[in-house]
């Protein structure tokens, strides 16, 4: 029997398999399960984008292969968005690459830079794709712990100097999944200066850039001085426009990095349906977009406030996150992240994500996704209270 490749065998086991099994069991018992696990928006794509898609999908000229480098109109719309939103000027010809969702570019960037034995610096806890892309390219992911006492920023001084010499890529993600931390301009500048000093390319995952609260302006790492020399930023239409299923994102920034990614991709995929790219142009340029994004932020802020209040009532000492639609909180003493998530599911029918699923340093935490309405979120806490689940003082 032909054996699978090592890279497939090295993929981590599915940590949520046990939780999934329990969810199925609860559903079959008739439990009204409340799913706060996966970060998939519950709201539909806005009507003005559906209308645009319907119009573009009907045009025969959109039914053929798209250009490998993406539609110039889409690249130009991304560049204009960066100019108006972030004051960053991008050359749409060479500094923008459309992606089949940001995950695709994040997974493939390592193949463009990493040789066997090279190291990538990867935050922990984190979206698992940074480490998996590194491994697929034959590299080693070196964890940079994100600790609460450091505001969930990595400590660059703590990175082993021998590993640093072998390092190629530095992954960052703010607003951060799963911790909800947002970056300051000072932190982004520190990261850019560090990357220059140590000859690294920063891969900044900006999937949640538009989801910030409390006056926090959405920031791009490309706003930092000299950033384009060392940074490529990955953006997504998934979360700001409730378009997770459409698969549309982009990579912007360093010309060389964007060029390598385009070259790599042109050999393994054949681009994004033109009608979807035109819909992306509409998302960036429609007059209704700023109001839509404001309402999206208001919705998640409202949900965040409900959950933070409920958790505080149960004894958790928690700062409301300033970005993303996640709440990251410690499990009560005596629990692992998985045992706590199982207990909550069994006692209350509420699905959470165990922090361990995001890395070793995620142990001791759980994540709540704010992907159901305020009323339903409130309902999730009633059975928790009845079951006596709390954070002891």
Ligand X SMILES: Cc1ncc(COP(=O)(O)O)c(C=O)c1O
Contacts with ligand X, residue ranges (CB under 6 A): 39, 101-103, 127, 173, 177, 205, 207, 236, 238, 244, 249
Question: Minimum distance between the CB of residue 135 and ligand X, rounded to whole angstroms?
Answer: 17
Neighbouring residues of 182: CB distance < 8 A, sequence distance ≥ 6: 174, 175, 176, 212, 216, 219, 322, 323
Least distance between ligand X and beta carbon 324 (Å): 8
* Minimum distance from residue 201 beta carbon to ligand X (Å): 17
In the complex with ligand X, the residue whose CB is nearer, 324 or 337, is 324
Four-CA torsion 83, 87, 91, 96, nearest 10 degrees = -80
> In whole angstroms, how close is the CB of 388 to ligand X at the nearest point?
32
Token digits for 168? 């190629």
**Residue 85 CB-density burial (10 A; 0-12 exposed, 13-18 middle, 19+ buried):** middle
Q: From CA 172, how far away is CA 231, in angstroms rounded? A: 10
Q: Are 68 and 265 in contact (CB under 8 A)?
A: yes
Shortest reach from residue 104's CB to ligand X, in Å: 7
130 vs 292, beta carbon nearer ligand X: 130
Residue number with CB closer to ligand X (236 or 289): 236
Could you tell me which residues come within 8 angstroms of residue 112 by beta carbon, excluding any fewer than 6 positions away?
257, 260, 261, 263, 264
Q: Smallest distance, Å, CB 353 to ligand X? A: 11
Q: Which is nearer to ligand X, 101 or 355 (CB)?
A: 101
Residue (173 or 254) nearer to ligand X, CB: 173
Q: Which two tokens stand for residue 353?
A: 């994500």
Rounded to an integer, what distance in angstroms lies between the CA atom of residue 312 and that of residue 123?
28
What separation in angstroms does the CA of 138 have from each of 119, 131, 145, 262?
9, 11, 22, 20
Backbone angles phi, psi at 133, to 5 degrees: -60, -40
């Amino acid at each position: 029997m032909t054996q699978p490749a090592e890279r497939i065998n090295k993929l981590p086991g599915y940590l949520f398999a046990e939780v999934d099994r329990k969810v199925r069991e609860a559903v079959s018992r008739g439990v009204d399960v409340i799913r706060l696990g996966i970060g998939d928006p519950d709201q539909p794509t806005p009507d003005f984008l559906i209308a645009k898609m319907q119009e573009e999908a009907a045009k025969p000229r959109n039914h053929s292969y798209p250009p490998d480098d993406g539609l110039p109109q889409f690249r130009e719309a991304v560049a204009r968005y960066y100019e108006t939103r972030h004051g960053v000027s991008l050359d749409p010809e060479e500094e923008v690459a459309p992606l089949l969702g940001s995950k695709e570019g994040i997974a493939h960037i390592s193949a463009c830079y990493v040789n066997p034995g090279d190291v990538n610096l990867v935050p922990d806890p984190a979206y698992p794709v940074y480490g998996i892309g590194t491994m697929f390219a034959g590299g080693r992911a070196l964890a940079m712990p994100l600790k609460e006492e450091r505001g969930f920023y990595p400590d660059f001084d703590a990175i082993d100097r021998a590993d640093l010499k072998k390092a190629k890529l530095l992954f960052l993600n703010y607003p951060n999944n799963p911790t909800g931390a947002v970056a300051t301009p000072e932190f982004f500048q520190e990261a850019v200066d560090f990357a220059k000093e140590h000859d690294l390319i920063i891969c900044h995952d900006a999937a949640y850039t538009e989801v910030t609260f409390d006056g926090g302006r959405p920031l791009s790492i490309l706003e930092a001085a000299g950033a384009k020399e060392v940074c490529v930023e990955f953006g997504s239409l998934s979360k700001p426009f409730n378009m997770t299923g459409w698969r549309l994102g982009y990579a912007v920034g360093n010309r060389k990095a964007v060029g390598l990614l385009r070259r790599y991709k042109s050999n393994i995929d054949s681009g994004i349906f033109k009608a979807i790219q035109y819909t992306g142009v509409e998302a960036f340029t429609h007059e209704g977009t700023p109001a839509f994004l404001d309402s999206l932020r208001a919705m998640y802020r409202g949900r965040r406030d409900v959950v933070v209040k409920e958790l505080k009532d149960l004894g958790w000492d928690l700062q409301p996150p300033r970005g993303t639609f996640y709440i990251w909180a410690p499990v009560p003493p005596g629990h692992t992240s998985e045992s706590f998530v199982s207990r909550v599911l069994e006692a209350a029918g509420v699905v959470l994500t165990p922090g361990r699923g995001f890395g070793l340093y995620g142990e001791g935490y759980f994540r709540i996704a704010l992907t159901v309405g305020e009323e339903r979120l409130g309902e999730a806490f009633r059975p928790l209270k009845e079951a006596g689940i709390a954070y002891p003082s």
